[in-house]
Amino acid sequence: MGDSSDSTSIDMESASISPKEHFVKTSYGFVSVAIYGDQDKPALVTYPDIALNHNSCFQGLFLCPEAFSMLIHNFCIYHISPPGHELGADVMSYNDPVLSVDDLADQVAEVLDYFGLGAVMCMGVTAGAYILTLFAIKYTRRVIGLILVSPLCRAPSWTEWLCNKLMANILYYYGMCGLVKELLLIRYFSKEVRGGAIIPETELVHSCRRLLDDRQGPNVLNFLEAMNGRPDITEGLKRLQCRSLIFVGENSPFNSDSLHMTSKLDRRFSALVEVQGCGSIVTEEQPDAMLIPLEYFLMGYGFYRPSQMNVSPRSPLSPKSISPELYTPESMGLKLKPIKTRHSQY
């Protein structure tokens, strides 16, 4: 991707460079991995929510110049797509065995082995956050940090289970029809951006709806059924040996699940950012709200912005350029708990 030297002044042309896409053969079938950046740098692994891939789940965050410059300066990005969720994916057979969430977490480990990666930073959204959390529980030494967006750690509630069952039945008989898309958009976004009878939906939602047109019903069904059969991993959170940063939208259907997960993590090494007026996919709906917490979190690992970049006033590395009364979580629509930046001793 773009030049990673300290003399960078990131322009968004570098953001538009196509990734290197690999199809990695694992014990559970092939999986698509899109790679951005210098593979000699530390790895940041991403995993999206159901029916999404990196183009529809992380693009908003990576199109923020500040976020892009910070992440691509410090990391090589490995976007893992759930099986069959990459662009142009073939249709899976309804007779193919459904991978469990354990299988998907083990598949992540095999992807890391394929690229010769050791310990990685992880970023996941909702279902993807669950998969990467499970991966971190099973392979504790392979994760240095978790950045989780509207994460889950409990088994589905009856409400979620019934909604997923309804969606699964519609997918089986009718594929990615309009009703499935509406249910997914409710899962992803707040009502404010989805619009209604009087207020039209935003371009963000319209774009996501178009991207969902490319998803194959059987492929989405497999990931949905895996997540609908997920176990409660709350007790496993005690085994985590990394720090965690959790974002959740105030209006996310999974807000209570994310708050529950936060309450079970070691408060010395975790932080919660609750974004007001936002749905589940903060990376797309309000990516700007992630910038300051992300930067402080990564500074705890010694990661930093390019030193000669013209940083935004939002950056904590240039605090003199913004008045103190504006530089508060409340003014940005955030509910932020302090992040402990010292390393865990295990």
Query: Both tokens of residue 234?
Result: 């709350």
pLDDT value of position 195: 84
pTM of the model: 0.86
| Cα angle, residue 143 at apex, residues 109 and 54 outer, rounded to 5° | 65
Q: Which residues contact 175 (CB under 8 A, 6 or more apart)?
A: 216, 217
Alpha carbons 99 and 60: distance in angstroms, whole number = 29
Query: Both tokens of residue 221?
Result: 């069904």
DSSP 8-state assignment for residue 33:
E
pLDDT value of position 307: 59
Whether 98 contacts 225, CB under 8 Å: yes
Secondary structure of residue 46 in the 3-state scheme: strand
Alpha carbons 19 and 127: distance in angstroms, whole number = 23
- Amino acid, single-letter form, for residue 118: G
Q: Which residues contact 183 (CB under 8 A, 6 or more apart)?
A: 163, 166, 167
Query: Both tokens of residue 223?
Result: 């990931």
Q: Which residues contact 230 (CB under 8 A, 6 or more apart)?
A: 101, 130, 152, 155, 156
Instruction: Decide: residue 25, CB within 10 A, 0-12 exposed, 13-18 middle, 19+ buried.
Output: exposed
pLDDT value of position 54: 94
pLDDT digits (tens), the chain, 346 positions:
344 333 333 343 344 457 899 999 999 999 999 999 999 999 999 999 999 999 999 999 999 988 988 999 999 999 999 999 999 999 998 777 889 999 999 999 999 999 999 999 999 999 999 999 999 999 999 999 999 999 999 999 999 999 999 999 999 999 999 999 999 999 999 999 998 778 888 999 999 999 999 999 999 999 999 999 999 999 999 999 899 999 999 999 999 999 999 999 998 999 999 999 999 999 999 999 999 999 999 999 999 877 554 444 444 443 333 333 433 444 434 455 544 333 333 3
Least Cα distance to 143 among 134, 154, 152 occurs for: 134
Q: Which residues contact 198 (CB under 8 A, 6 or more apart)?
A: none
Helix or strand (DSSP H, E) at 22 = strand 20-26
Conformational region of residue 333, where left means phi above 0, alpha means psi within -120 to 50, and beta covers everything else: left
pLDDT value of position 317: 40
Q: Which CATH class is domain 20-300?
A: alpha beta
pLDDT value of position 47: 98
- Amino acid, single-letter form, for residue 30: F
DSSP 8-state assignment for residue 126:
T
